[in-house]
């Protein structure tokens, strides 16, 4: 038993701190073997899930025509998101998204992924049983909390093998359309996101910019001076 990852030689801490959102450095020309994806999924499924029911199903797509159709839904959903953000701004709502150079960089990177999504060798859509649109907080938290740890495990496992992904939720503006593309029984199934999977161009990723502990952590009690502002998400299921 080694504490280093099998392919990249990274330690557990390096894997945990350098598993980034990869968009521009996805190797679109190198095929991804099904066995590698399945190895990473077996690792993903070791994540905790409510009562160990494992009520998820993962759709893994390497068929080129289906990937093209998925990429079209994703592109249209970006349009939905931009329109929703614009409406929220026009209504004077404060956006949840920051502005400035860092956000511009992310936007360019997001656009790059939109333009190349159909070329990414494997697209993964984790789903879980049930619709939670009108569910109470316990049911929502239990449902989402039973799939998202596995998704993150999956991304970490990819990193240990020299692959990468990007956590994306944009297409959920058009969840029903994606369900039609993939044959997902939408009335009884929720999609958690869309995860493009490819080998990465190089494996030298660095920790991302994150806020200081002082801003994010309160010991013992929420202090009076930390008053979150109301924010507009501008999200709407189409």
Ligand X SMILES: Cc1cc2nc3c(=O)[nH]c(=O)nc-3n(C[C@H](O)[C@H](O)[C@H](O)COP(=O)(O)O)c2cc1C
Q: Residues interacting with ligand X, by CB under 6 A?
A: 20-21, 23, 106, 110, 113, 166-170, 208
Shortest spacing between CB 123 and ligand X, in angstroms: 13
Neighbours of 135 (CB within 10 A): 14
Nearer to ligand X, 105 or 188 (CB): 105
Shortest spacing between CB 90 and ligand X, in angstroms: 22
The residues facing 226 across adjacent strands are: none
Both tokens of residue 120?
């990414």
Q: How far is CA 111 from CA 31, 100, 152, 171, in A?
A: 23, 17, 23, 14
- Residue with smallest beta-carbon separation from ligand X: 208
Shortest spacing between CB 138 and ligand X, in angstroms: 20
Q: Are 167 and 195 a contacting pair, CB within 8 Å?
A: yes
Shortest spacing between CB 215 and ligand X, in angstroms: 16
Nearer to ligand X, 142 or 169 (CB): 169
Nearer to ligand X, 113 or 179 (CB): 113
Q: How far is CA 211 from CA 2, 107, 139, 185, 216, in A?
A: 32, 20, 30, 40, 7
Nearer to ligand X, 9 or 208 (CB): 208
Q: Are 202 and 10 a contacting pair, CB within 8 Å?
A: no
C-alpha to C-alpha distance for 6 and 3, rounded to whole angstroms: 9
Shortest spacing between CB 2 and ligand X, in angstroms: 26
What is the DSSP annotation of 37-70? HHHHHHHHTTS--GGG---EEEEEE--HHHHHHH
Shortest spacing between CB 194 and ligand X, in angstroms: 8
Nearer to ligand X, 53 or 102 (CB): 102
Nearer to ligand X, 105 or 187 (CB): 105
Identify the residue whose tokens are 């009108």: 134
- 13 Cβ contact list (under 8 Å, min separation 6): none
């Amino acid at each position: 038993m080694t504490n280093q990852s099998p392919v990249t030689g990274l330690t557990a801490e390096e894997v945990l701190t350098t598993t980034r959102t990869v968009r521009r450095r996805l190797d679109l020309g190198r095929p991804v073997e099904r066995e590698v994806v399945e190895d990473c999924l077996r690792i993903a499924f070791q994540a905790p899930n409510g009562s160990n029911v494992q009520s998820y199903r993962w759709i893994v797509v390497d068929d080129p025509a289906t990937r093209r159709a998925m990429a079209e839904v994703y592109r249209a959903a970006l349009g939905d998101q931009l329109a929703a953000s614009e409406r929220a701004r026009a209504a004077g709502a404060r956006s949840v998204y920051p502005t400035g150079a860092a956000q511009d960089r992310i936007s360019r990177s997001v656009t790059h992924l939109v333009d190349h999504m159909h070329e990414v060798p494997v697209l993964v859509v984790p789903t879980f049983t049930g619709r939670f649109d009108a569910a109470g907080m316990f049911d929502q938290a239990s449902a989402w909390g039973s799939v998202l740890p596995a998704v993150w495990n999956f991304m970490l496992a990819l990193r240990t093998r020299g692959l990468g992904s990007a956590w994306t939720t944009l297409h959920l503006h058009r969840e029903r359309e994606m369900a039609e593309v993939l044959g997902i029984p939408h009335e009884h199934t929720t999609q958690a996101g869309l995860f493009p999977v490819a080998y990465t161009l190089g494996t030298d990723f660095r920790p991302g910019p994150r806020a200081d502990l002082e801003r994010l952590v309160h010991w013992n009690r929420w202090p009076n001076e930390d008053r979150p502002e109301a924010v507009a998400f501008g999200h709407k299921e189409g």
